[in-house]
Amino acid sequence: MARYPWREFWAFLAAGLVTLLLVLPYQLALRPTPPPIPLALLVVAAVAQSAIFLAIAVGLGLAAARPVGLSAPLVEAWLYGGDVRTALRALQLPLAVVIGVASSAAVLVLEFALFRPLIPELAHLGVAAPERWQGLLASFYGGIAEELLTRLFLVSVFAWLLTRVLRGSLAFWLAIVLSAALFGLGHLPATAALVPLSPAVIARAVILNGIPGVAFGWLYWQRGLEAAMVAHFSADLVLHVLIGG
């Protein structure tokens, strides 16, 4: 039985915890009113809760990934004495950047050409726009923590379960689509606080998060977790820094 990759666990958990702190200025900028409890207490509680979920997700994700051949090749090579240069070349990071930017462009086109006309309330929310530096910090959270939660955890666990009943690539495609859809549905509580839920609002959450999610999931499957992280980070730079602010 292969040993559990504890070095990877601690490396990913540490990176994810750092991004939990980096995203705080962005999250606080989106709050329309001051929190009802002291800000320091709110921050400590939110970070602690997120850290617990992150630790569980990384722990289970790494356990599920290895049996189905999913990995983080660059981190593994770095931590366990492998060929870092070969791992880096195999990731094809320029392709990841292109896919990330293309997915963000698809999101923007669908948002303004389809969903804004369908959901006119979106144009009148009056939500404060974070500064570009806050968007930049939040992009690290998206590229690292959200990939640990969605790709490393959800895709790996779904793939591990599905490969027990399905053969070939179908299990991986279903795992990728399911994780992307769940990630989109996970945005609904925050959306519901701003606009009433409707079929169009639900479709918007699933589609706008699902398109990048499927792209990042494919990169995780075919190139490695770091490729998915770079693509996600690139997409967030477009959405939160180039367009936002």
Q: What is the pLDDT of residues 139-195, one digit of tens each?
A: 999 999 999 999 999 999 999 999 999 988 999 999 999 999 999 898 888 777 778
Dihedral over Cα of 228, 61, 80, 90: its sign: negative
Check whether 1 has a pLDDT greater than 70: no
Q: Is residue 1 part of a domain?
A: no
Check whether 32 has a pLDDT greater than 70: no
Q: Is residue 55 part of a domain?
A: yes
In this predicted structure, what is the pLDDT of residue 35?
66
Count CB-CB contacts under 10 A for residue 164. Answer: 9
Q: Is residue 93 part of a domain?
A: yes
In this predicted structure, what is the pLDDT of residue 28?
85
Tell me the C-alpha distance between 137 and 237, whole Å.
10
Do the Cβ atoms of 155 and 176 come closer than 8 Å?
Answer: yes
Question: pLDDT per residue over 6-17, tens digit each?
Answer: 999 999 999 999
Which of 18-27, 189-198, 235-244 has the weakest average pLDDT? 189-198
Q: Between residues 101 and 186, which one has the greater pLDDT?
A: 101
In this predicted structure, what is the pLDDT of residue 245?
58
Q: Is residue 50 part of a domain?
A: yes
- Tokens 């859809």 locate to 181
Q: Is residue 37 part of a domain?
A: yes
Q: Is residue 168 part of a domain?
A: yes
Q: Is residue 59 part of a domain?
A: yes
Q: For the chain, what is the domain count?
A: 1
| pLDDT, mean over the chain | 92
Q: Which helix (H) or strand (E) holds 16?
A: helix 6-22
Do the Cβ atoms of 103 and 189 come closer than 8 Å?
Answer: no
Q: Is residue 230 part of a domain?
A: yes
Question: pLDDT per residue over 102-137, tens digit each?
Answer: 999 999 999 999 998 998 887 766 556 789 999 999
Burial 143-161 (b: 16+ CB within 10 A, else e): bbbbbbbbbbbbbbbbbbb
**At residue 41, what are phi and psi to the nearest 5 degrees?**
-65, -40
The domain containing residue 144 runs over which residues?
A: 6-242
Question: pLDDT per residue over 61-87, tens digit each?
Answer: 999 999 999 999 999 999 999 999 999
